[in-house]
Amino acid sequence: MKNLVVTLMTFLTVMTYAQDQKSNPVPQINVSGEGKIKVIPDMATISIGVENTGKDAATVKKLNDETIDKVLKYIKKNNIPQSDFQTTQVSLYKTYDYEKKKNNYVASQTITVTLKDLKKYDEFMMDITDTGITNIGGIEFKSSKLEQYEAEARKKAMLVAKQKAADYTSALNLKVGKVLLITDNSSTYYPHPVMYKGARAEAMDAGAPRETLAIGEIEITANVNVSFGLE
């Protein structure tokens, strides 16, 4: 019985507090902030593909395997650590040619290679086609200091939110109080090159006779919603 009385008193206390909060809401302002950091990347991931088509599945697979063997030997020859290259896709499937009314088999494989030193780009790409690859699927620029730049972007987003709250409240002669709630709305980081006129690859050797890679910049973004109390 005693436990029941304590439980009822606790319940009534919580209900009373909730009603007080509802009837006397804390004055607040909700704002968003975005922080952007633009940096010159110092790494690149290159996608290399091999594809063969033929009448026999075993034959096209063998052709692919032979090319992949050459590609892997070429990668190792360029002193790229094993942790920096990986097979990301393998397929073998049958297709039907309606014009010639016959079946074909397609074998394909993709390998991604991460160059942690962009000075090696020209040298690596120079003879890669001699291995028998059929396509270079694309290049993705990255930064080795991603965590550091993400932290900077988050701090910048908070400062933007704070300033925005101050701008709104100053017009009403109010002051921004303590933070009530912070919600991080940042999405997963997918670097996209942002090319700019006259971009130079600073990571490249200044004495190189040519430049074949427009590195540009990548943009790291953080988004936040912040609720501030008002004074």
Confidence (pLDDT) at 187: 74
Q: Among the listed ranges 26-40, 48-62, 107-121, 199-213, which one has the minimum average pLDDT value?
A: 199-213
Give the CATH number of domain 43-142; options: 3.30.70.2970, 2.40.50.1020, 3.40.80.10, 2.60.120.10: 3.30.70.2970
Confidence (pLDDT) at 206: 42
On average, the pLDDT of the chain sits at 82
Confidence (pLDDT) at 189: 52
pLDDT digits (tens, 9 = 90+) for 55-64: 999 999 999 9
**Which top CATH class is 25-40+145-230?**
alpha beta
| Percent residues over pLDDT 90 in the chain | 61
pTM, full prediction: 0.66
| Tokens (6 digits) for 20 | 């007080």
Task: Show the DSSP H helices in the chain as ranges.
Answer: 2-23, 57-77, 121-126, 146-170
Domain ranges of the chain: 25-40+145-230, 43-142
Q: State the burial class of residue 107 (Cβ atoms within 10 Å of its Cβ: 0-12, 13-18, 19+).
A: buried
Which residues are CB-contacts of 199 (< 8 A; sequence separation ≥ 6)? Answer: 214, 215, 216, 217
